[in-house]
Amino acid sequence: SQTIHQWPATLVQPVGSPLSLECTVEGTSNPNLYWYRQAAGRGLQLLFYSVGIGQISSEVPQNLSASRPQDRQFILSSKKLLLSDSGFYLCASLRKTGYTFGSGTRLTVV
């Protein structure tokens, strides 16, 4: 079965600092990978998805970017964080058996 490792679990970063959140997948190959964000009082919003190495689709314009350097690695980045980037970030993987989610990263930008 699929397992998603996502770290760190919590992160406090100052405004203007860079960000790198990493997600790795075990137990599957060639999954579709997703980054979601939940801002306070809102549902989970799809940020990026990737159907393969180097292939990234962005769902909403924002201060963030994503990369997929390896089949089972998906990275969410920012060069300069904004206060509005605070939220709960979830990595997800999709295979034929369905979705698997990571445990999430709670990011607070101060």
Partner 1 sequence: AQSVTQLDSHVSVSEGTPVLLRCNYSSSYSPSLFWYVQHPNKGLQLLLKYTSAATLVKGINGFEAEFKKSETSFHLTKPSAHMSDAAEYFCVVSVGPNFNKFYFGSGTKLNVKP
If the CB atoms of residues 15 and 51 are measured against partner 1, the closer one turns out to be 51
Question: Is the Cα torsion angle 105, 60, 19, 29 positive or negative in sign?
Answer: positive
Q: Which is nearer to partner 1, 59 or 79 (CB)?
A: 59
Residue 41's identity, in one-letter code, is: G
The residue within the footprint of partner 1, chosen from 66, 72, 85, 102 (CB under 8 A), is: 102
Q: Which of residues 4-23 bind partner 1 (CB under 8 A)?
A: 4, 9
Answer for which of 14, 43, 54, 61 binds partner 1 (CB under 8 A) is 43
62 exposure class (CB count in 10 Å sphere: 0-12, 13-18, 19+): middle
Least distance (Å) from partner 1 to the CB of residue 42? Answer: 6
Q: How many CB atoms lie within 10 A of CB 29?
A: 8
Among 8, 17, 30, 42, interactor with partner 1 by CB under 8 A: 42
- How many Cα atoms within 13 Å fall on the side-chain side of residue 70? 9
Give least dist CB 16 to partner 1, A: 28
Number of C-alpha atoms within 13 angstroms, CB side, residue 29?
Answer: 0
Site residues (vs partner 1, CB under 8 A): 4, 9, 32, 34, 36, 38, 41-46, 49, 90, 92, 94, 98-104
